[in-house]
Chains A and B, each alone.
Chain A
Amino acid sequence: MRVAPSTVFVALLLVAFAALPVYTVSFEQPFYLALVRRIMILAIAALGLNLIMGYGGLISMGHAAFIGIGGYTVGILAHHDVTSAGIQWPLALAFAAAVALVFGLISLRTRGVYFIMITLALAQMMFFLGVSLEAYGGDDGLPVLSRSDFGGAIDLGDDVTFYYFVYALLLACFWLMSRLVNSRFGMVIRGIRSNEARMQAIGFATLRYQLTAFVLAGMMAGLAGALLANHTDFINPEMAHWTRSAELLVMVLLGGMGSIAGPIVGAAALLLLEELLAGITEYWALILGPIMIVIVLFARNGLLGMIDRWSGRDG
């Protein structure tokens, strides 16, 4: 079986991620370890978004809200001295799932631009809810004084251990997504995107499938939120802001919406590009903005699509 260049690229990227700590530890560059760890965490959230958006055709402008929910669960519990991961993390995932269920039930009654708007509105409400939580810092945010405790098995306080932990979770989510997309469930989701009426006529309860995908994506974002709270040792309402949701959309698009690994490539590309540009000029958004426009207009299948096209092997 001939392997697409984009697949090789993704494989190389994942190998590079695995090998990075060797470089950062030897050259005392903890900054890059933290940067790539952040990339991987956001990639997890973007993987979920890709499921509902890339394959499901549902453009959610409120995905970051679930990151906020996951993060706040961990942060608030830590604030109350509940640091056991066995309590924090299942709760974070459960809340994210529950809220996703509610939001999904409301939003999936609508389509197209109205879906975009209502997911935006619901997410903004989460943002304002976070701002109003005076006891937990409100607008200023809340420091997370101790990281989640896995009881000696995994020490999140060790930068490198934490890094590999995130890496393992990323691979797990990646594997999960690839199985899901190619399964019957995935086929149904994609079928709904292309022609919902037909799927219903065939006899699929389309709402149930979309809702399941929505909840699953929400849970992955919740997981990312829990990781993020530990990574930055800080939670604040901005985690749920609509501009963060827009960034996730950019990551999915940048990587390539037609592929499972797109979000990982997109997350890496966006954050590395931001970092690179910020080093060059204070006005880096001046360059990033047009780049985004150009990609939207001319590179529809994102970076992975470009890689395949340039090597003469279209996806």
Chain B
Amino acid sequence: MRGRTAPPLSPVGKPGVAMVDPSLLFEQLLNGVQLGILLFLLASGLTLVFGIMDLMNLAHGSLYMIGAYVAAKVTILANSFLLGVAVALPATLLLGVALELLVFRRLYARGHLDQVLATFGMILFFNELVRLIWGPAGVSVPLPEILRGHIDLFGLPYPTYRVLVILVGLGVAAFLYWLVVKTRVGMLIRAGASRREMVGALGVDVARLFTIVFGIGAALAALAGVMAGPIFSVTVGMGESVLILTLVVIVVGGIGSIRGAFVGALLIGVTETMGRAFLSEIFLLFMSRDGANTAGPAVASMLVYIIMAVVLVFRPQGLFPARTG
């Protein structure tokens, strides 16, 4: 046989000590929050589109990827991160709106199956397109000096950039709250989420509303991509890995609900990060080292799906259901 069962690696340090260390715990918590914020940026766009237009858009991850690529390339070309962001957001927004007018318009009336298949085809197309234009190697985004260091948070040095991501995310959350609760568009969005037909019957230009909503979703996805690029590196297919987590977030949070997306994203982000960091250690308390090293990563990766399954069984509409219909 292949000899896959290599002899056990020599024992390592003192297990369990790392877990007790409060600064490690705090750092991981922050990392979880930061991942949650990124997921929120993606999920809020997706949940809006899903809630208002009942559109299951798997290509949301592709917009995320394109936003990341454009930002990365412009940043390198113009030697300015700010310019990269400033170009990427409207560029991806335009692409999103173009797609909406050309393709998605025809998909609203179709069932979810058609939407899944058509957007799956889009994923294939965009991955290949990006590979064709920018090569297969991926891009590393150069950050400006100020963002490259770390800030002292209660004695813990935490990367400055990640703090920025968290702040931006909270800012977006506040903006979306204002948009949805305090503006006319927001009112239409809330109405559309729960009573789509009524909105149309009341004389609102539904087609234009849909385009606006899709545009917002695309911009949010682009922002997520732009912010994620410097942390994760920009590569082909980066959308797919976050897409599934994003879908889990909106199901857990409740389709159509921004509040649900926020809570769900933080929950999933923290669970995923803490699980990956500490589950093996927890298992070590009652399992052999080999068992813990196998079960730990396995269960950690399944954890979020287990959460989703539990939510779907006991509260299928999600934690903060927006739809009443």
Contact = CB atoms under 8 A, between A and B. Distances in A.
> Is B truly associated with A?
yes
Nearest to A257: B113
A115 to B, nearest CB: 9
B247 A120 contact: yes
A232 B148 CA distance: 48
B117 A128 contact: no
Interface stretch (B71-79, B85-93, B177-185, B301-309): B301-309
Nearest to B112: A113
A129 B5 CA distance: 18
A132 B251 CA distance: 26
A69 interface: no
Interface string B256-290: 00000000000000000000000000000000000
A253 B309 contact: no
A137 B121 contact: no
B199 interface: no
Given A110-B316, A124-B305, A132-B295, A249 B117 contact: yes
Contacts of B297: 132
B4 A135 contact: yes
Contact of A114 (B117, B251, B301): B251
Contacts of B18: none
Nearest to B56: A113
B118 A293 contact: yes
A61 B244 CA distance: 12
A220 B52 CA distance: 38
A138 B293 CA distance: 13
A124 B309 CA distance: 12
A135 B247 contact: no
Interface stretch (A18-26, A176-184, A284-292): A284-292
Contact of A124 (B127, B244, B251, B298): B244
B2 interface: yes
B131 A288 contact: no
A53 B125 contact: no
A269 to B, nearest CB: 14
Contacts of B101: none
12 contacts: A61-B116, A109-B313, A109-B316, A121-B309, A125-B302, A132-B298, A250-B117, A250-B120, A285-B128, A292-B124, A293-B121, A296-B110
A59 interface: yes
A248 B103 CA distance: 23
3 closest cross-chain pairs (CB), A and B: A289-B125, A132-B298, A292-B121
A112 B117 contact: no
B23 interface: no
Interface string A143-169: 100000000000000000000000000
B121 A290 contact: yes
Nearest to A129: B298
Interface residues of B, number: 46
Contacts of B4: 134-135, 137-138, 140
B302 A117 contact: no
A125 B248 CA distance: 13
Interface residues of A, number: 45
Interface string A38-64: 000000000000000100000101000
A137 B308 CA distance: 28
Contacts of A283: 128, 131-132
Given A128-B301, A285-B128, A293-B121, A116 B112 contact: yes
Given A113-B56, A249-B113, A297-B106, A143 B123 contact: no
Contact of B244 (A134, A242, A289): A242
Contacts of B316: 109-110, 114
Interface string B228-269: 000000000000000010011001000100000000000000
B131 A289 contact: no
A59 B113 contact: yes
A109 B50 CA distance: 21
Interface in B288-325: 294-295, 297-298, 301-302, 305-306, 308-309, 312-313, 316
Nearest to B103: A293
Nearest to B114: A296
B1 to A, nearest CB: 8
